[in-house]
Amino acid sequence: MIKVKVHDLKPGMVVGYPLLRDDGVVLLREGVTLTRRLIERIKETGFECIYIRDRRFRDVDLEEAISYDVRRQALLTLNESFSSIMKGRQTSLEPIRRLVDEIIDEVLSTKKSVVSLIQLRQHDDAVFSHSVNVSALSVFLGRFLGLSREQLRVLALGSLMHDLGKIRIPLEILNKPGTLTPSEWETMRGHPLWSVELMTGKVPEDSLSIAIALQHHERLDGSGYPYGLLEPDIHFLARICACSDVYDALTVDRPYRKRFSYAEALEYLMGNVGKLFDLQVVTTMVRHIAPYPVGEVVRLTTGEVGVVVRLNEGLPIRPVVRVIQDREGNTLERPKDIDLMRELTVAITGTESVRYKDYRRYAPQEVGGVGGNDARSS
């Protein structure tokens, strides 16, 4: 699979990974052949890019923090539970607790030590998608930080519900393209307190999950909110959630700014270690979260363009790249793999956009009977 920007999509391309709405509804199944009408619909829904199938990358699998099935179930569960809470209904957290165990089971059972996020999100403040990503990232980091299963359960639950309070914030504030007024900013800063209020009575009173929701915007130097806590008073689990929260938030387009690349988000975290963010947590992120995910199109210092096809453990910033264009922009008849762990004189300079002159040359062989038995349905 290869990630392609929506404005570069062409009729006949085959979807490689499903498009999910923030509430878990499948907008576009894997294996569907794109038409002009479908491409227009994708643009209207606000997605920036999607994954498509390309037979040059048939051997490439996305290295996700959690699987598609768990992700979709998580979105459905959060949507149902949060909506019920917002309407003031008596809501059981048992579905979310079961979800927490599914996320932990998947993270603990995987042999992967390096993963990335599948960021196929719309141009809005998608609370559910963000919460799922933050929880999955936090649990994955917690695994390498040596947390016990019970600590992971607390971390997963707190991270899933850290932004619950945002359901009380008007959309015109959440999605405001300009600078917030002092009054609007005060409303925004209130969401950790509202998360705690909505969680109280639904999780044990002494649960650290509440502390995670309360403290995920606190910063080590006291510049955070809602209480301006200093480093000694910020719980370690909340520091994990804080780093995951910032990383995921930065790598998505917002009405008031363009998204950071994955590499830029990690640079931001590293640049603020000790001031805003915990050193141990950020160091773990650098070792285990890929700044250039599988399927990402990148440009190399050689001027060539390639696609990340495999992540290297220990140094995810130097993955294996399959070169598909030479430095003049000509498509290679025979792509070549470069392992940046071995080719130390070559490095990635940034992400790139790939445009197909003739997609038919690279379309999967099943085109014509597209969809197949492996197409994920809603």
Same domain, yes or no, for 47 and 96? no
Q: Which domain range does residue 91 map to?
A: 68-288
Last residue of a domain, one of 288, 318, 340: 288
Last residue of a domain, one of 288, 307, 336: 288
> Is 4 inside any structural domain?
yes
Residue 220: give its domain's CATH number.
1.10.3210.10
> What's the pTM value of the predicted model, to 2 decimals?
0.89
Average pLDDT of the residues of the chain: 88
**Count: domains in the chain:** 3
pLDDT, tens only, 7-47: 999 999 999 999 888 888 898 999 999 999 999 999 888 88
55: DSSP letter: G
Same domain, yes or no, for 217 and 179? yes
Q: Give the residue from 152, 125, 348, 154 showing the smallest Cα distance to 248.
A: 125
Same domain, yes or no, for 43 and 192? no
> Is 178 inside any structural domain?
yes
Same domain, yes or no, for 46 and 136? no
Residue 48: give its domain's CATH number.
3.90.105
Same domain, yes or no, for 120 and 133? yes
* Length of the chain (residues): 378
> Is 59 inside any structural domain?
no
How many other β-carbons are positioned within 10 Å of the β-carbon of residue 136?
A: 27
Looking at residue 45, its pLDDT comes to 84
Same domain, yes or no, for 225 and 155? yes
Last residue of a domain, one of 265, 288, 311: 288
> Is 60 inside any structural domain?
no
Same domain, yes or no, for 277 and 133? yes
Same domain, yes or no, for 16 and 72? no
Q: By the 8 A CB rule, do 38 and 27 touch?
A: no
> Is 335 inside any structural domain?
yes
Mean pLDDT check: name the lowest of 2-6, 168-172, 225-229: 168-172
pLDDT, tens only, 252-282: 877 667 888 888 999 999 999 999 999 999 9
- Is pLDDT of 376 > 80? no
pLDDT, tens only, 222-249: 999 999 999 999 999 999 999 999 999 9
Same domain, yes or no, for 147 and 272? yes
- Is pLDDT of 372 > 50? no
Same domain, yes or no, for 197 and 252? yes
Burial 23-46, CB ≥16 within 10 A → b, else e: ebeebbebbbbbeeebbeebeeee
> Is 58 inside any structural domain?
no
Same domain, yes or no, for 240 and 371? no
Q: Give the residue from 173, 167, 174, 217 showing the smallest Cα distance to 195.
A: 167
Q: Using CA atoms in the order 57, 293, 102, 78, what is the torsion angle rounded to 10 degrees?
A: -110
- 116 phi, psi to nearest 5 deg: -140, 175
- Is pLDDT of 175 > 90? no
Looking at residue 122, its pLDDT comes to 58
Looking at residue 370, its pLDDT comes to 37
- 278 phi, psi to nearest 5 deg: -75, 130
> Is 63 inside any structural domain?
no
- Is pLDDT of 51 > 90? yes
Q: Using CA atoms in the order 356, 357, 359, 362, what is the torsion angle rounded to 10 degrees?
A: -80
> Is 62 inside any structural domain?
no
Same domain, yes or no, for 218 and 159? yes
